[in-house]
Amino acid sequence: MKDRTDLGFSTFRRSQGQFALISSAIAYFASYLTVCRLVSSTLVHFSARVSHREVWLSAGLMVTWATLITEWKSAPFATTKHKSRIPSSLGKGILFLGILAVLYASRAVPNKVLIFFLIGSLFYLPISFLLHYMGFHLGHAGRLIQHDSHILIVGSKDRAKDAVAAIRGAGEKYEIVGCLDPDPSRIGTRVSDLEVLGTTADLPKYLFGHTVDLIMFALPLHLVPNAAEAINRAMEVGIPVSLVMECGLYRVGHCFTDHTLSYKAFAELPTAILSNVPGDSAYLVLKRVLDIVISGILLILLSPLFLLTAALIKITSPDGPVFYPWRVLGRNRKPFVGYKFRTMVPNAEQLKIQLLQHNEMQGPVFKMQSDPRVMPLGRFLRKYSIDELPQLYSVLKGDMSLVGPRPPAKQEADQFEFWQRRKLSVKPGITCFWQVNGRNEIASFDEWARLDIEYIKQASMSCDLRILLRTIPAVVRGKGAH
């Protein structure tokens, strides 16, 4: 069992003050130099003696910047009430900058330069805020437990009530879905306002059919029958398990040899988190950066192809829409709607019922090599994977990644075997091992699932880059579905 201390996101939060001060200094000097150059190149002489008033003015401006940015730090993920701070902060900042301009104006820094600096600050402040937002967003992307996670509590007594209170008081958008308890007599009772949904014996069944991102054990583990087996079932489908430290991790710790153990304060509770999904903060942040950069660039560069494809679809099949709304499940069964270019006739879903007997894939996924529902243009789009390009928007949004297991429809996921549920333990992607290993030749869903789980086990930036590089020739050679 790998043992590490994972405090990446909390460290990031503590560094926000330092970030605000550094960004304020950069913004001040960038604005100062830009404005001075625009007004007159003779106004700034680096060899000239700097007056005390300029020093105080600079210090005051930077403190103002730092205060404004720090006050805005919760805005990206806060409620509407907190977002109302933004115009208020901006108004206070402009007022304070104006007062400084009047009090500390000197011949070395004319009033008109300070006025231009005020205007320039309105440009640099949003840039600083954008950088801060990106840092916050990417720091969030590097978290094993996301801010909107669905949490299942095991336990229903005092420790569980304390855990519920701590999670709800953490300032994040966590959703507690309910509780399980070893005692059947507790079913239907309530922990705060949460229902006890079943016993711990029901854990595998509940995990299979519901969205759960984290299981928190908030009771002594010796009270849970077969606790190690229950935790292993969660590990089998890739769902992290959090154990409140006082609940006796040592009783089951020796049973887990292939998982990462992180000691951290989650919702201000001393916990140990067991996980077997990619949890390296640096990798997850870099993966998100790669997703944003590549999907953004490709959406711009391929926009002419998007327009041409859309026009051809409307010309060849005017009765249907250009895009097919792809209703699928993301990480841990979170539903989302992605889009593909429509390649089938408008009533394809109704015709599918008549074709089920011709399914060539063993398992819950429907696949038919010569599917009569596919339009002639659609066959070309599928051959070169052009129909998949709108998924780049889902990557940019964050619903998908460039590399990851393909997202299933709900009716497909409901037919998975239990071990196949692990496909949903990471963010889905456009391409993965199945794509570069000849997806047209894969006739068994078991093999497809094993390839996806193999990716999850060895996911890394080098692995992602290898898959992306191998995907390019596969697409160019027309190895897509026919």
Rounded to 5 degrees, φ, ψ at 327 are -90, 105
Picking from 303, 329, 472, 310, the residue whose alpha carbon sits closest to that of residue 402 is 472
Q: Are strands 335-341 and 323-329 parallel, antiparallel or unpaired?
A: antiparallel
Q: Whole-angstrom Cα distance, residue 474 to residue 482?
A: 14
| pLDDT tens digit at each of 482 positions of the chain | 444 444 334 444 444 455 555 555 555 566 566 655 555 444 444 444 445 555 556 556 666 655 655 555 444 433 344 444 555 655 666 666 666 656 655 544 555 555 555 655 566 556 666 665 666 666 666 676 777 789 999 999 988 998 999 888 876 778 999 999 999 999 999 998 899 999 999 999 999 989 999 999 998 888 888 888 888 889 889 898 888 876 555 455 545 555 566 666 677 788 888 888 876 678 888 899 899 999 999 999 999 999 999 999 999 999 889 999 999 999 999 999 999 999 999 888 888 888 877 877 788 888 887 888 999 999 999 988 999 999 999 999 999 999 999 999 999 999 999 999 999 999 999 999 888 876 666 778 888 999 999 999 889 999 999 999 998 888 877 665 54
Question: What long-range pairs does 162-169 form, CB within 8 A, spacing at least 24?
Answer: 162/218, 162/269, 163/216, 163/218, 163/244, 163/267, 163/269, 164/191, 164/192, 164/194, 165/192, 166/267, 166/268, 166/269, 167/216, 167/267, 169/267, 169/268
CB 212 within 8 A of CB 175: no
What domains are there in the chain, each with its CATH number? 2-141 (no CATH), 150-275 (3.40.50.720), 281-476 (no CATH)
Compute the half-sphere exposure of residue 214: CA atoms within 13 Å on the CB side of its CA.
25
Q: Whole-angstrom Cα distance, residue 318 to residue 203?
A: 49
Average pLDDT, the chain: 77
The residue to which tokens 């994040």 are assigned: 172
> Please, what is the end-to-end C-alpha distance for the chain in angstroms?
45
The number of angstroms, rounded, from the C-alpha of 231 to the middle of its chain's C-alpha atoms is 25
Q: Are strands 260-266 and 269-275 parallel, antiparallel or unpaired?
A: antiparallel
Strand partners, 141: none
User: Which amino acid type is present at position 328?
Assistant: V
> Model pTM?
0.72
Rounded to 5 degrees, φ, ψ at 360 are -100, 0
Rounded to 5 degrees, φ, ψ at 271 are -130, 160
Q: Whole-angstrom Cα distance, residue 447 to residue 427?
A: 20
Q: Whole-angstrom Cα distance, residue 148 to residue 169?
A: 14
CB 415 within 8 A of CB 364: yes
CB 360 within 8 A of CB 443: yes
Picking from 459, 453, 398, 458, the residue whose alpha carbon sits closest to that of residue 421 is 453
Continuous segment of H or E residues that includes residue 203: helix 203-209
Q: Taking the CB of residue 296, how many other CB atoms lie within 10 A of it?
A: 13
Structure tokens, 214 = 């984290």
Picking from 442, 397, 404, 403, the residue whose alpha carbon sits closest to that of residue 425 is 404
Question: What long-range pairs does 343-350 form, CB within 8 A, spacing at least 24?
Answer: 343/374, 343/375, 343/377, 343/378, 343/379, 343/381, 343/382, 343/387, 344/371, 344/373, 344/374, 344/375, 344/378, 345/317, 345/320, 345/373, 345/375, 346/317, 346/319, 346/320, 346/321, 348/373
Using DSSP's 3-state secondary structure scheme, residue 466 falls into: helix
Query: Which pLDDT score, from 0 to 100, does residue 244 have?
Result: 82
